[in-house]
Structure 1
Amino acid sequence: MDKKLKLWDATMLVMGSMIGSGIFIVSSDMMRNLGSGYWLIAVWIITGILTVAGAISYGELSSVFPKAGGQYTYINEIFGKMAGFLYGWGLFTVIQTGTIAAVAMAFGKFTAYLVPWLNNSDPIFQSGSFRITWVQILAIVIIMLLTYINTRGVKGGKLLQNLFTVSKILALLGLIAFGFILVKDSHWAENLSFGWKAFQDFGKEVGNDLVPAGWKEIGGITLLGGIAAAMVGSVFSSVAWENVTFMSGEIENPKKNVVKSMVFGTVAVMSLYLLVNLVYLNALDRDGIAFADKNRPAVAASEMIFGNFGTVIMAVLVMISTFGCINGLVLAGARVYQTMAKDGLFFKAAIGNNRHGVPGKSLWMQGIWASVLALSGQYGDLLDMISFVIVLFYMITVFGVIWLRIKKPDLERPYKTWLYPVTPLLYLLIGTAFCVLLIIYKPQYTWPGFLLILIGVPVYFFINRKDKEQGV
């Protein structure tokens, strides 16, 4: 296959897949969980360390297995066929498709900011609590449109990705610059108040609806639960950088360029995220972030910076950002299902490329299922379910770096993890703390993910049984 993606394209894929809707939305919920700007920044820094450590660790595996399928291939090669299938199963059923659906819904919601009719019109269909709205229809149209564009070849998807990623990076840099230049009444000092007291006082202010009553009495331990709950948002906003590994088969010099793109991309994006949150803390007070209208602190901050026209500016920025993010997710995800199909672990129809040299049927399968998930309309529910599962598989993959060093020390490694074993161990330490705290404090964020993976076990044995019957 021709190598159609250069280092620049790969880096744009990393950044474009990461920057979606999360950075414009999740800081409200994070502030409600933390109650202090100091802890908001601390959580973003922890997430940044986690993300970059993961990317650095993955780099070693990308140089050892420089082929399409990326993370699926790493898990499959290191831990066996069943582990690889469970990752691919999770990716198709909710991780990739659920993220596409969630970001597409965010695109729809911010479009409705410019076209109020989308929000104000009656549902197309309603039965009890289930309903189908025009915002959902718009989300599905965008998913289908970008799926179609990507079935026409890598070149079109690549150009679209580069254009939208550069646009949103420049827009974010503009927001960051004006966020410090144009804000007259800075809330910096009050927002960076430090200590357990700020957290506990905030718990008393917001009441039991947002902060459980028991949290108010237990001080520091309570904060750990708040950090874990807040990290659901920051982690969701910082995932999908591994999408570039799915495209390894189409990247020039993948043994070097995949790791470079992951490290450059994650460092750049996490730096942008940190600066955007500093703008929120400069432009808005604590309640302004925590209780921003419809959980849109970016819109509230933009109003403070640019006046009434700021809402339009921010809506357009989020539309650009989410559109480019969906494209990156669509472009990369289908390559995994194609690789799985070649291994006999997915629908056989996904194996072949179309006349444009891309896995067309795999792309349509992904697009259709993501559209089904979008009909749920619950951005928050999808976010909650996805973050835990993603970190779990990240940890398994990062552990694979250590496991492979022990089992196959003489294996050729064109790139070796920087500061090994500190970097992968640091990732595993933070990731384990995140997962354990979620299990303790927010079990509803965790059990759907476990259930999803468990459902994959009988599916795997059913597929293998069919293979054995056919003598495969």
Structure 2
Amino acid sequence: MTDNSSSSYLRRLGTWDAAAIVIGGVIGGGIFRSASSVAESTSSGAQLLTLWVIGGLLTLAGVLCYAELGARRPHAGGIYIYLREAFGQLPAFLFGWCMALINYPGSVAAVATTFADYFCAAVGLPLQWVKPVAAGAIMFIVGVNFFGIRAGARMQNLFTLLKLAAIAVLVVTGLVLARGHLGVVLEPDPTHPVAPWAFLGALLPVLFTYGGFHYLNDLAGEVKEPQRTLPRALGLGLAGVVVCYVLVNLAYLAGLGHAGLAASQAPAADLMRRLFGESGAKLIAVGIACSTFGYCSIAIAGGARVLQTMGADGMFFRAVGRIEPHTRAPQVALAVLGGWAIVLVLSGSFNQLLNYTTVGEWLFHAFGIATLFWYRRRFANEPSPYRVPLYPLLPLVFVVTVLGVIIATTLDSPGDAGISLLLVLMGAPVYFVWRAWRGRRAA
């Protein structure tokens, strides 16, 4: 439970802070690059935009489920808490093992490196500076979060506004290049013929680009009036993301055309270059750097709360479970996650780690949503301040869709998927060894 004792979190995040976390956790660097791969698998602008809308609606179904889960258990830890209560400590430990110790720091390392790439390109630094800049960015974010959630939220709000400004610049640029001929963006592209409904295979990268909406639940222990704020912030934040993604893709189509978008390796830079030249490409590089930096801030803050909760449960080192009494920040957990992410940056091994944990991440999303069925049955008479609409349809749709994504990923990359599942299962013997060691220490 979160209370006002010096060993607990304080609820300091309002609705805008929470919504900014949702927006910042979803919009990282993906939308500035992944639209090209989606365009390659579609045959028209209409199909492309339809995919982004479908992906947004499916993600919204998951977000609404997370809203009820967060309202029922508004504590730090998110999915870890839900799995522990519904299925026991072993599944919860496997989540923490896979996500907090591998996926979260791997994501931070990857996105921090992306930030450093764009930052160095924008200011003219040589490639040798990429790793030091990425490591420095992680240390800076950890240092700010040492002062508590309010300091982290102020930084996050600033970078959320900057990334929304970058998106607005892209959209306006696309509209200017279209010169009032927006109708052509929906026309078929003869260079990319796709069989009817085959384009749905491109839903996989779309859903991955919508990932990250769960970070607010990791921070639920620090949200004011969580039963009211969490559902509102999750809904508003994800709705804003869907609007941004659709408008950005519309801008890409208007400025580059469907064939041009499919052929582009950096659509945001190519779009800006068409109107403003190289100065425009550098400007959007700054915007992408801000977007990726903001994502790193959220991933570090959210991941540290999961580690801290594991430590407090005795599922990780007890020191990691400590909350600093003056700032109410999990400083040891922040240092551990940030330090491990820096090691991954300097070693350059994070890309393979992320490939190996993608299937596990989405599998835990499916299990996390599935806990909602347990909560509804176990606490049937317990009043809930928020209930997901169209229950049980929406959670079923989300779980089935995620399992479909996992199957598609396994068929497409059986090696990576197999290693991902193996990494998750390797956590089981670690769990039993850890419990035995803790039991001997207690005795």
TM-score, structure 2 as length reference = 0.90
Structure 2 equivalent of residue 157 of structure 1 = 152
Q: Give 1:266 shift.
A: 1.0
Structure 2 equivalent of residue 430 of structure 1 = 401
Partner letter of residue 310 of structure 1? G
Q: Per-residue CA shift, 1:312-341, capped at 9, x if unaligned?
A: 111111111111111122222211111111
Indicate conservation of the 8 Å contact 1:36/1:194, yes or no. yes
> Of residues 198, 207, 212 in structure 1, which corresponds to 2:192?
198
1:41 is aligned to 2:16:
no
Structure 2 equivalent of residue 345 of structure 1 = 315
> Of residues 56, 59, 67 in structure 2, which corresponds to 1:59?
67
1:251 is aligned to 2:252:
no
1:304 is aligned to 2:312:
no
Indicate conservation of the 8 Å contact 1:50/1:427, yes or no. yes
Relative distance call for 1:406 and 1:356 in structure 2 (3 A) is closer
Give me the whole-angstrom Cα distance separating, in 1, the residues matched to 2:197 and 2:176. 38
Indicate conservation of the 8 Å contact 1:15/1:165, yes or no. yes
Instruction: Give the % identical residues.
Output: 31
Relative distance call for 1:469 and 1:263 in structure 2 (3 A) is same
Q: Give 1:467 shift.
A: 2.8
Structure 2 equivalent of residue 457 of structure 1 = 428
1:265 is aligned to 2:237:
yes
Give me the whole-angstrom Cα distance separating, in 1, the residues matched to 2:350 and 2:441. 42
Q: Give 1:470 shift.
A: 3.7
Give me the whole-angstrom Cα distance separating, in 1, the residues matched to 2:349 and 2:263. 19
Q: Per-residue CA shift, 1:290-330, capped at 9, x if unaligned?
A: 332xx311111111233332101111111111111111222
Indicate conservation of the 8 Å contact 2:185/2:254, yes or no. no
Give me the whole-angstrom Cα distance separating, in 2, the residues matched to 1:110 and 1:185. 32
Structure 2 equivalent of residue 239 of structure 1 = 211
Which structure 2 segments of 5+ residues have no match? 5-9
Relative distance call for 1:379 and 1:459 in structure 2 (3 A) is closer
Structure 2 equivalent of residue 72 of structure 1 = 80
Give me the whole-angstrom Cα distance separating, in 2, the residues matched to 1:468 and 1:146. 36
Q: Per-residue CA shift, 1:393-420, capped at 9, x if unaligned?
A: 1111111112322333223322111111
1:101 is aligned to 2:72:
no
Indicate conservation of the 8 Å contact 2:53/2:246, yes or no. yes
Partner letter of residue 202 of structure 2? I
Relative distance call for 1:372 and 1:36 in structure 2 (3 A) is farther
Give me the whole-angstrom Cα distance separating, in 1, the residues matched to 2:28 and 2:90. 31
Q: Give 1:181 shift.
A: 2.5
Partner letter of residue 234 of structure 2? M
| Alignment of structure 1 residues 254-293 onto 2, 5 Å | 254-292=226-264
Structure 2 equivalent of residue 227 of structure 1 = 202
Indicate conservation of the 8 Å contact 2:122/2:283, yes or no. no
Partner letter of residue 234 of structure 1? V
1:170 is aligned to 2:178:
no
Q: Give 1:222 shift.
A: 5.9
Partner letter of residue 230 of structure 2? V
Q: Per-residue CA shift, 1:57-83, capped at 9, x if unaligned?
A: 111111111111112111111111111
Pairwise CA RMSD = 2.4
Give me the whole-angstrom Cα distance separating, in 2, the residues matched to 1:290 and 1:463. 49
> Of residues 88, 92, 98 in structure 2, which corresponds to 1:90?
98
Q: How many residues align?
A: 434
Q: Give 1:191 shift.
A: 6.2
Give me the whole-angstrom Cα distance separating, in 2, the residues matched to 1:380 and 1:166. 28
Q: Give 1:380 shift.
A: 5.7
Relative distance call for 1:288 and 1:9 in structure 2 (3 A) is same
Structure 2 equivalent of residue 414 of structure 1 = 385
Relative distance call for 1:285 and 1:41 in structure 2 (3 A) is same
Partner letter of residue 54 of structure 2? I
SS in 2 for 1:446: helix
Give me the whole-angstrom Cα distance separating, in 1, the residues matched to 2:267 and 2:35. 7
Structure 2 equivalent of residue 16 of structure 1 = 24
Relative distance call for 1:260 and 1:221 in structure 2 (3 A) is closer
Indicate conservation of the 8 Å contact 1:288/1:300, yes or no. no
TM-score, structure 1 as length reference = 0.85
> Of residues 30, 40, 63 in structure 2, which corresponds to 1:32?
40
Q: Per-residue CA shift, 1:226-262, capped at 9, x if unaligned?
A: 425xx2x333322222111111221111122112111
1:323 is aligned to 2:331:
no
Structure 2 equivalent of residue 362 of structure 1 = 333
Partner letter of residue 449 of structure 1? S
Indicate conservation of the 8 Å contact 1:136/1:375, yes or no. yes
Structure 1 equivalent of residue 7 of structure 2 = none
Give me the whole-angstrom Cα distance separating, in 2, the residues matched to 1:186 and 1:300. 19
Q: Give 1:180 shift.
A: 0.8
Indicate conservation of the 8 Å contact 1:63/1:413, yes or no. yes
Instruction: Please identify, of 174-183 and 235-244, the stretch whose mean Cα deviation from structure 2 is larger.
Output: 174-183
Q: Per-residue CA shift, 1:95-146, capped at 9, x if unaligned?
A: 2112211211110111232244423xxxxxxxxxxxxx43122111111111
SS in 2 for 1:285: helix
Q: Give 1:184 shift.
A: 4.5
Indicate conservation of the 8 Å contact 1:389/1:449, yes or no. yes
Indicate conservation of the 8 Å contact 1:50/1:431, yes or no. no
Give me the whole-angstrom Cα distance separating, in 2, the residues matched to 1:305 and 1:380. 33
Q: Give 1:41 shift.
A: 2.3
Instruction: Please identify, of 405-414 and 433-442, the stretch whose mean Cα deviation from structure 2 is larger.
Output: 405-414
Give me the whole-angstrom Cα distance separating, in 2, the residues matched to 1:236 and 1:434. 10
Structure 2 equivalent of residue 148 of structure 1 = 143
Indicate conservation of the 8 Å contact 2:177/2:254, yes or no. no
Relative distance call for 1:190 and 1:260 in structure 2 (3 A) is closer
Partner letter of residue 156 of structure 1? A
Partner letter of residue 391 of structure 1? W
